[in-house]
Amino acid sequence: MNPNKGNQVVSGSDQTTWVNNEIWDDVKSVEFKMTGEFEDITFLGDPRTYKKYTGFTGEGTITVNKSRSRGAVILAEAFKTGVMPDVKIVTKLVNPSTKKAERVAISGVIFTEFGHSSEAKGIIEEELPFTFSEYEVLETM
């Protein structure tokens, strides 16, 4: 048994996030996922339901510790004109023990909301939910 096995596990502190080639150093959390879409397939005389893959949807959220107007810079004009900007997000998660990394690029990103909420003595965060239409796994651990 490896007594240092816990050191092999990566943490969010080991991640860097780029949005349109700019490192966002105020990111608190990033979540993105691809969800498969399936249609039910049935046949007469067969009680089972089969699944047919029809595509996927991509969605996620970047949460930043509010220090800049991230959402307003990207979305204020886009929401008024209906012209969404091209956005690409790249994440890189590095395992400090092995120096191996997982790097993923997602593109066709459309941020769907912006704003913030605040309360007395509270740290202000800004959540930026998004959808995306393309992804590429650039590197794996």
**Interval 43-70: pLDDT, tens:** 999 999 999 999 999 999 999 998 888 8
Distances (CA, A) of 84 to 20, 43, 69, 75, 91: 14, 43, 17, 8, 22
- Compare 63 and 7 and report the one with higher pLDDT: 63
49: enclosing H helix or E strand: strand 46-65
Closest by CA position to 106, among listed 13, 37, 18, 8: 18
Residue 19 has which token pair? 């949005």
Tell which residue, 30, 127, 110, has the closest CA to residue 70.
Answer: 127
User: pLDDT value at position 93?
Assistant: 93
Look up the pTM and report it: 0.85
From CA 60, how far away is CA 14, in angstroms rounded?
19
